[in-house]
């Protein structure tokens, strides 16, 4: 349970079918405030999508080291590049 903003974030992705093809949306939600703190959209579902989303959220919210990020542990979230990005800002 989060006791303050920017202590625990949830990360997830969904797809949006369009006439031109599928778009993928990644979001980070702050558990305490239930606010969307970051999002990113792409026509490709890859780790750059979730990294861009997370970095946008960090740039906007400036979380302190120790941030916990819960995800579904899909391949984008378990990629070495995404995990390295988490470590760089002190998140887990």
Averages of pLDDT over each 10 residues, the chain, 92 residues: 94 97 98 98 96 98 97 96 96 94
CB atoms within 10 A of CB 4: 10
Which residues lie closer than 8 Å to 28 by C-beta, 6 or more apart? 9, 10, 11, 36, 37, 38, 39, 53, 54, 57, 69
Q: What pLDDT score was predicted for residue 12?
A: 98
What is the per-residue pLDDT across 47-61, written as a single tens digit (0 to 9) for each? Answer: 999 999 999 999 999
Q: What pLDDT score was predicted for residue 1?
A: 81
54 touches 82 (CB < 8 A): yes
Question: pTM above the 0.85 mark?
Answer: yes
Domain map of the chain by residue range?
8-88
Q: What pLDDT score was predicted for residue 3?
A: 92
Instruction: Extract the runs of DSSP E, i.e. beta strands, from the chain.
Output: 8-18, 21-30, 36-42, 68-70
Q: Does domain 8-88 have CATH number 3.30.420.10?
A: yes
């Amino acid at each position: 349970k989060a006791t303050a903003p920017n202590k625990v974030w949830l990360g997830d992705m969904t797809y949006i079918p369009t006439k031109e093809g599928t778009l993928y949306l990644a979001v980070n939600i702050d558990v305490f405030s239930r606010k969307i703190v970051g999002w990113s959209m792409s026509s490709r579902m890859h780790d750059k999508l979730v990294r861009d989303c997370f970095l946008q959220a960090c740039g906007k919210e400036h979380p302190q080291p120790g941030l916990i990020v819960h995800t579904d542990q899909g391949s984008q979230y378990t990629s070495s590049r995404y995990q390295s990005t988490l470590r760089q800002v002190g998140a887990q």
